[in-house]
Amino acid sequence: MAPKNTTESINVLAHRFLWEPDDIVLTTVMEHHANLLPWRQKARVEYLPLDARGVVDVTQLAARLEQYQSRVKLVTLLGASNVTGYTPPIHAVARIAHQYHAEIMVDAAQLAPHAPIHMLSPDDPEHLDYVVLSGHKMYAPFGAGLLVGPRHRFSQGAPFIEGGGAVKFVTRDTVEWDDPPAREEAGSPNVIGAVAMATAAKTLMAMGMDNLETHERMLDHYLVEKLRAIPGLRILGNPEAMHADRIGVVSFVIERVPAMLVAAILGYEWGIGVRAGCFCAHPYLRQLLHISDRDADRIRQELRDDDGRHVPAAVRISLGFYNTIPEVDRVVVALTRIARQGNRGDYVRNAQTSEYEPRGIVEDYDWAFQF
C-alpha cells in the first residue's frame, strides 16, 4: 500500500486489527511517537525493558508473551533508532513473537536508507509480518510511504480513509469495498511521489545496500571514537554495547552549551547541518537524559504556560552514504571548539521555536562546498 509516510502507515494498520478490550501491543521505549501514539488509542501498550546496556532484552519479551499469551496482538518496534542508531534484533524478536502466535511490525523508517531489509518468507519463523517506511528517508521527496503486510489483514471492513478509488460499487446506502491494496488507497494517488520513491529505492539497491551499510558503519565507528575524546561531550546510549548493531546516527549533549545552540553554531558558523531537539521520541530521550518524573511533570506544566525553556534536547549527527572522513573530521573540529569555548558569535534564543538565531555573523558558506 502507498500511504503518505510511516506515520500514516501505522495509523492504517492500527485501524485494521479487530481489537478486544484486553488486547496488548508490546513495544519499546525507544520508539518514535509514530509507533507509540496510534497503538495507545486501540490497546494497552506495554514497553519491553532495555537491559543495563540499553539494548532490547529478548528474554523479557518471551516472559511477557508467556504471561499475556494470546492477548498480545502485535509486537512492534523500530528497525533502527532515530536517536541512538541502535538496530534491535528484529528477526530474533520475530521468532519469539511467532512462537506465541503474535505478529510483528517493524518501523523501518530509519533503517531503510542505511541497511538491507529482509522480510523473509511467511513460513520462515523469523519473517516480518509488517514493514512500514517513508520515501523521504530514502532521499525521495516528501509525501510517499510504504505499508507492506499480508492481504488478509486488509480485506475485512471499511478502510482507514474512505472515498473514491477504494470501492467496487456504491449505492445511496451501501458500499462494496475493493480488494486490497486499492481498498486502502482512496483518493487521487501521489503518482509522482510513488515513482520517485521507487526510483530512490532502485538507486540505493543498485549501489548495494551492503556496500552502503559497510561504508556508513566505517564512518560511524570513526565518528564515535573521535566524539568520545571530546571533553564535556556525552554520547547518548551505549554505542559500544550496541556494537555492530547500529546505523550511523549519533546523539549527544555538551556540558553547559544548550543543544539548540550547538546546532545553531554548527549551522551558522561551520555550514554543518544537524538536528537538535527530542527527535519525536520523548520517552526514549527522557530515559537517556535521566529526567525524573518530577522534572517531567514540571516541564509539562511549564509547556501549558507556553514556557519551553526546560524541554530537554540533544544534538544528532546522521551519516549517509555520501558522507566522507574529511567531513567527519570537520564536525569533530567544530564540536571540540564548541565544547571548549562555546560560540564565536552572538546568538538570541527564539522563545517560540527554542532555536537560536545569530546576530552579526556574516554568512559565507562557499568554503563548505570545497569538500
Binding residue (CB under 6 A) for ligand PLP from 11, 13, 28, 32:
32
Cis peptide bond N-terminal to 181, omega within 30: yes
Which residue lies nearer to ligand PLP by CB, 109 or 235? 109
Q: Which of residues 79-98 bind ligand PLP (CB under 6 A)?
A: 82
Residue 6 touching ligand PLP (CB under 6 A): yes
Binding of residue 343 to ligand PLP (CB under 6 A) = no
Task: Please give the angle made by the CA atoms of 88, 90 and 93, to the nearest 5 degrees.
Answer: 105
Angstrom distance (rounded) from CA 99 to CA 125: 8
Active-site choice (198, 280, 291, 311)? 280
Distances (CA, A) of 31 to 26, 56, 199, 359: 11, 12, 28, 37
Only one of the segments 103-111, 195-203, 254-262, 266-274 lies at the binding site for ligand PLP (rule: CB under 6 A); that segment is: 103-111
- Enter the DSSP assignment of 62: H
Q: Which residues in 182-201 contact ligand PLP (CB under 6 A)?
A: none
**CA-CA distance, 133 to 7, in Å (whole number)?**
9
First to last CA, the chain: 40
**DSSP sequence for 188-226:** S--HHHHHHHHHHHHHHHHH-HHHHHHHHHHHHHHHHHH
> Of these, 1, 2, 5, 88, which contacts ligand PLP (CB under 6 A)?
5
Among positions 256-275, residues that touch ligand PLP (CB under 6 A) are: none
Footprint on residues 34-63 left by ligand PLP (CB under 6 A) = 34-35
- Nearest distance, CB of residue 327 and ligand PLP, angstroms: 22
Q: Give the CA diameter of the chain.
A: 71
Is the CB of 82 or the CB of 323 nearer to ligand PLP?
Answer: 82
278 is catalytic: no
Position among 1, 7, 38, 48 found at the interface with ligand PLP (CB under 6 A):
7
Residue 134 is a binding residue for ligand PLP (CB under 6 A):
yes
Beta strands 44-48; 24-28: pairing state: parallel
Active site residues per annotation: 280
The binding site for ligand PLP (CB under 6 A) comprises 5-7, 32, 34-35, 78, 82, 107, 109-110, 134, 280
